[in-house]
Amino acid sequence: MTQKMNRKETYVLVHSAWLGGWQWENVAKILKENGHTVLTPDLPGHGSDKTLPFTITMEDYIKTLTDILDKQDGPVILVGHSFNGITVSSVAELRPNKVKKLVYVTAFLLPNGGSFFEAVQGVEGSKAVENFYLSEDKTYALIKEDEIQNAFAHDIPKEAFDAAKSYIVPEPAVPLAYKLQITEENFGKVSKYYIECTEDRAIPIEIQRSMYKGKVKKSYSLNSSHTPNFSQPEKLAHILLEIVNEK
């Protein structure tokens, strides 16, 4: 069932670490059926982009997205999943007038100076953190293979997860150490929304709530793993449609 649409928007959906724009396929389909434009870029080293992990910096991710925003006629709804909450925060800082609304899907919503590595220090109860490791040369990050589904997608069938497994890529390490640089003048003026996932085994719900409390206009809740784009695409899409009409 489609929702009543008041206006046509452009969504830029930014994938998580290890995945690519392909992760949004089922969500994007619903948004497009509702008349919206949807962009699902691959960040460098992800999806169909074959940039080598050891060459990639956070600045490369940011430029990929600011280049897209600069080509749009008006401001977009910018959505970041998981690690790339940090990336979309950086983009909103640099292009506040190009971001109508900023949406975090069980994502890192960090303060100025925060980084992924610092944010996960001492976190307990995260299957992702417990099974995270760097390659021998420290250029990319991985999750122990036999724990990947448990950490990120325990609520989808194993066959579906196994079908997607071949698309998972090594995560470049340098961006994980990037320290976020945001200001009240730019980042602070963008309207923010958070979609929490209560069954998330990668970013436990208490951590999600501690990150977004007092920082967003509104939060939404899904009874989902870390990847509602796979397990509950319809519900996730309808929240994104609802956010369009938020004042």
Q: What is the pLDDT along the chain (247 residues), one digit of tens a residue?
A: 444 445 799 999 999 999 999 999 999 999 999 999 999 999 999 999 999 999 999 999 999 999 999 999 999 999 999 999 999 999 999 999 999 999 999 999 999 999 999 999 989 999 999 999 999 999 999 999 999 999 999 999 999 999 898 899 999 999 999 999 999 999 999 999 999 999 999 999 999 999 999 999 999 999 999 999 999 999 999 999 999 988 7
Q: Where residue 23 sits, what CATH number does that domain have? A: 3.40.50.1820
Asked, for residue 5, whether it belongs to a domain, the answer is no
Asked, for residue 160, whether it belongs to a domain, the answer is yes
The whole model's pTM is what? 0.96
Q: What is the pLDDT of residue 6?
A: 57
Asked, for residue 78, whether it belongs to a domain, the answer is yes
Question: What is the number of domains present in the chain?
Answer: 1
| 115, 142, 203 from 178: Cα distances, Å | 6, 18, 19
Asked, for residue 2, whether it belongs to a domain, the answer is no
Asked, for residue 132, whether it belongs to a domain, the answer is yes
Asked, for residue 1, whether it belongs to a domain, the answer is no
Domain that holds residue 188: 10-244
Asked, for residue 202, whether it belongs to a domain, the answer is yes
